[in-house]
A and B are shown apart, each in its own frame.
Chain A
Amino acid sequence: MTERPLRLLLDFDAQAQRDKEQPPAFLHRRDRKFALVCKEQGFAPDAARWLNHMKRLAGPGASAQAGEHTLTLWRRINAGFAGTGVVFGIFTMLGLLFYDGGQRINITLFLAFVLFQLVLALFTSIQSLAGWQPWHWLLRRLNSSPTKGVAHRLHPALMARAAHLGGFCFALAGLFTLLVLVVVQDLAFGWSTTLDTGSGSYHRLLTAVAAPWAWLWPAAVPDPGLVEATRFFRAEPGSGGLNPEVWGQWWPFVTMLWATWVLLPRLLLFILASALIRHKARQQLNSHPAMHALLYRMETPALDTGIERNDARDLPDTDTRSNLRPLPDSDTLVCWAGACEPELPEPLRSGKHLILKAGGRASLTDDQRVLNQVAEQAAHTADKAVLVVTRCWQPPTGELQDFLEAGQTLWPAGIRVVLVPLAADINQVPPLHQIQPWLRFAERLGHDFVMVSLPELDLQTQDAASKELP
């Protein structure tokens, strides 16, 4: 339960890293779909549900979440700290309570050690809140693949929690050792200091220290008589005639001192560190850049512009071996689809006996009449070519194909059709890209019957255009 927000954050971050490789359109479709399903089922889509959904779809065979690796590492670190704490706790307490029968166990030393533990505990918390990482080397050694990003930012808090857990285990083991020693040994406590301190002020200090438990266990607060009686001096031999039982009356105070000022702070700080991790994990999850993007994707309708279709490379065959042919002499000229309007270029106009109009605005009956007239003309003259003038920018269509195929059937054998595409400005050579469709059209219809020529407008430009052709 403690690790839930952290696990959520780590898993979310891992999923966000994987999503970086995905196209945005896919992510939007995926997450919007999830949000719509949630809406249908009456749930609000949130990160936990979303992650569960992802895990379910990934199936049982999917590799362990990256978050699990980080959590396992931290479990190990926590266990290491806890184990070390237990061992240190036992040995420290044995050291503190070392008693050979001839020497008292000094309560002042005990107080100083407890204060040191308290300072250590507070320092750990402050250092974590400030974000210092003096133990960074340890993590580097333990973690073969140092995590960047969100987990990295939680390291101070995680390390503080591990340290407090270690401290808690240390205190608990110490307390246990103390109680065992109290039972199995006759410990003689006393107090001693080099400073010129009276037992009255020492008692006031102890009362202040014992204040937290005074109401709970009055026997654990030393009375002035005990303080007065148990002061000892290093050079003083023996017990000075004091009742030996009095030396042992300190143990309730020592027990409560340890429990209240070493054990309890560590426990509280451990709980605080855990709460802080949960809070930070939640905060980081909410402010995760991928979370903003996810919420946007869930809230915004997924737009699909139908881009699945892809035939950009499926272009028509634009290779052609045809080439422009020289314009032959011919008496017959057909203007296709208004190509002679407003006028023909001079080289085409001169010397023509028959200029006919077909295609475009002309009706199909008109086309048929033109076909017949050309057939008749061809039968009476030695002309072997019919010029068909077209507008180069209007691509060849099925109607022209029909017209030429009808001509091929109707006209005398051996006659050729010469397509002459004209530019919008009849005195200019058509641009290359507008000639090529005509060449390919002629090639499709057959090499022998249809060819393409340009009017001899300007020899230089025409030559240039011809050279550009394949």
Chain B
Amino acid sequence: MTSAPTFAVVGHPNKGKSSVVATLSQNDGIAVALEPGTTRKRQAYPLSVDGRILYTLVDTPGFQRPRRVLEWLEAHSISASDHAETVRSFVTQHQGDGRFTDECELLKPLVEGAGIIYVVDGSVPYSAEHEAEMTILRWTGRPSLALINSIGADDYSDIWQAALGQFFQVVRKFDAVRAPFEQHLGLLRAFGQLEPDWEHPLEQATHFLSEQRQYRRQQSAALIAGALEDMMSFREKRTLTSGQAADVSDGSLARQLRQSWYRHQRQREQALRVAIEHLYQHQRIHRQEAELEWHSKHDLFSEDSRRTWAVSKRYLATAGFGAGAVSGAGIDALTLGHSLGTGALVGGLIGAAGSYFYGDRLMLPALNIGVLKDGLKTATFGPVQDSQFGYVVLGRAVDHWWHISQRNHAGRGFLDLEPADHHWLESLDKKSRQDIQQAFDKRRKGRPLDDRQRRKFIAAIGQSMAAYDEWRLNQT
């Protein structure tokens, strides 16, 4: 049984060490700032499976006085064979010395057996002044890997690669903010190349992380399905006494109901957003999205959103045919097949025609203001009468999920949910379209989905996510 490897993420101040740790440990709670000295103490981030640690990342402060350290080391060493021992002695001697706090914090995990992950910023020119710290790291004798993390727009990574290759066993490029998940796994596998004993736990770690990602995707589909079920069937209801009914006009009552209906739908959408963010361990995302206001540009119900996310007439007709055909098939079943499928055909045609002619109208949810009865008056608003509302919410939800699933934990900028400019639902298969349409129709009529329908609905949303993923891939 080998012990779990530890990797100390080290380097010059302000080169993105904490960003690398934040991304690899999926922790958006790590302080990351464009300010040297943000990390003051080393901090360990273990990855454990059922309480068993597979590897630990240690975030450390940057080198502050590398030349002074190197001078001390050189003065206390006789030959290369005592280098590692000399570094250990340096740490022992300078514990509590204010001048070398950062160096001691940085070197301590290395003298205790950690592997080195040296981080440089590939967007700034190579600087020879790093050579002192690279030499110190080489003195520790620990397995080492250099990461070229680009913080800015320029690219000097080739020069860095050549220079780092002289000091480190493996050199990799890794953009902590933008690297896709597959690169995280690739990087973990690269850590395993540093030492034969580390390969197995890191292989396990990548396996578990891949499974976790797959599970999160399925969970996201279930969360989106749940939100859609709620939103498609939501009805705002208010009961007024005769006194209250006299004080408020029908117009004003309708307005109030409509407003609270919208407010509830927006809150439900926000709750979905937060649930998906938490699922991916993003605890503190600041979203930059169009405020869900009536008539605003990317409003949930605006024409613009509808055009962006809702479906074309042809699409709706196809989905409508599927849903209608299923209803019509019921007639065939009742006649024990004697109608020879006419029911399905007629049902399908009716469904398709209805969707084609009425599908592009974003109808308002049904408003129903009852008459005064037994001293009480009941008014309701909703459920939404148009399936397109569901497609709008679905589109927004899948877009948000995609951004979250692609977002690294080092990213601290606003999450900009600019609506996409193309209709990705076109590539969704017919079966999924039908399942989605049926679920929408059923909920719109206030009927619950049974387990089988819910499973189909979730699977169809999973397919939508895959279609969106594919579409995004082709965009870039």
Are the CB atoms of B448 and A148 closer together than 8 Å? yes
Chain A residues with CB under 8 Å of B62's CB are 395, 397
Q: Does B36 contact A (CB under 8 A)?
A: yes
Are the CB atoms of B64 and A424 closer together than 8 Å? no
Distance in Å from the Cβ of B100 to the closest Cβ of chain A? 9
B:38-60 near A, CB below 8 Å:
38, 43-51, 56-57
Residue among B26, B32, B36, B222 with max Cβ neighbours from chain A (10 Å): B36
Are the CB atoms of B127 and A301 closer together than 8 Å? no
Chain A residues with CB under 8 Å of B284's CB are 312
Partner of B25, one of A153, A307, A437: A307
Report A180-221 CB contacts with B as 1/0, cut-off 8 Å.
Answer: 000000000000000000000000000000000000000000
Distance in Å from the Cβ of B157 to the closest Cβ of chain A? 14
Q: Does B374 contact A (CB under 8 A)?
A: no
Distance in Å from the Cβ of A294 to the closest Cβ of chain B? 13
Chain B residues with CB under 8 Å of A303's CB are 47-49, 208-209, 212
Partner of B279, one of A24, A300, A301: A24
Summarize A's interface: helix, strand, loop or mixed: loop
Q: Tally chain B residues at the interface, Cβ within 8 Å.
A: 64
Are the CB atoms of A304 and B65 closer together than 8 Å? no
Q: Does B399 contact A (CB under 8 A)?
A: no
Q: Does B29 contact A (CB under 8 A)?
A: yes
Q: Does B307 contact A (CB under 8 A)?
A: no
Chain A residues with CB under 8 Å of B37's CB are 316, 395
Chain A residues with CB under 8 Å of B63's CB are 397
Distance in Å from the Cβ of B155 to the closest Cβ of chain A? 12
Q: Does A350 contact B (CB under 8 A)?
A: no
Whether A302 contacts B45 in the complex (CB less than 8 A), given A148-B448, A307-B25, A424-B125, comes out as no
Report B136-165 CB contacts with A as 1/0, cut-off 8 Å.
Answer: 000000000000000000100000000000
Q: Which residue of B lies closest to A424 (CB)?
A: B125
Q: Does A391 contact B (CB under 8 A)?
A: yes
Chain A residues with CB under 8 Å of B14's CB are 395, 437
Partner of A312, one of B31, B45, B448: B31
Q: Which residue of B lies closest to A296 (CB)?
A: B215
Q: Tell me which of B66-74, B77-85, B110-118, B435-443 binds A.
A: B66-74
Q: Which residue of A lies closest to B65 (CB)?
A: A398
Q: Does B297 contact A (CB under 8 A)?
A: no
Q: Does B33 contact A (CB under 8 A)?
A: yes
Whether A289 contacts B222 in the complex (CB less than 8 A), given A309-B30, A309-B45, A399-B65, comes out as yes
Are the CB atoms of A337 and B129 closer together than 8 Å? yes
Are the CB atoms of A394 and B68 closer together than 8 Å? no
Are the CB atoms of A304 and B129 closer together than 8 Å? no
Partner of B128, one of A288, A304, A360: A360
Distance in Å from the Cβ of B47 to the closest Cβ of chain A? 5
Q: Which residue of B lies closest to A402 (CB)?
A: B65
In whole angstroms, what is the CA distance A399 to B154 when docked?
27
Are the CB atoms of B29 and A311 closer together than 8 Å? yes
Q: Does A364 contact B (CB under 8 A)?
A: yes
Q: Does A56 contact B (CB under 8 A)?
A: no
Q: Does A287 contact B (CB under 8 A)?
A: yes
Are the CB atoms of A300 and B211 closer together than 8 Å? yes
Q: Which residue of A lies closest to B99 (CB)?
A: A398
Q: Does A59 contact B (CB under 8 A)?
A: no
Are the CB atoms of B64 and A302 closer together than 8 Å? no
Chain B residues with CB under 8 Å of A148's CB are 448
Are the CB atoms of B281 and A316 closer together than 8 Å? no
Pull 11 A–B residue pairs with CB atoms less than 8 Å apart, ordered by A: A303-B208, A304-B46, A310-B27, A312-B31, A312-B32, A314-B31, A318-B35, A361-B128, A395-B12, A399-B66, A440-B35
Q: Which 3 A-B pairs have the closest CB atoms?
A: A310-B29, A398-B64, A395-B36
Residue numbers of A with Cβ under 8 A of B are 23-25, 32, 36, 148, 152-153, 284, 287-289, 296, 300-307, 309-316, 318, 337-338, 359-361, 363-364, 391, 393-399, 402, 424, 433, 437, 440
Given contacts A301-B208, A303-B47, A303-B49, 9 further A-B contacts (CB under 8 A): A24-B279, A307-B26, A307-B29, A312-B284, A315-B38, A316-B35, A398-B65, A437-B14, A440-B35
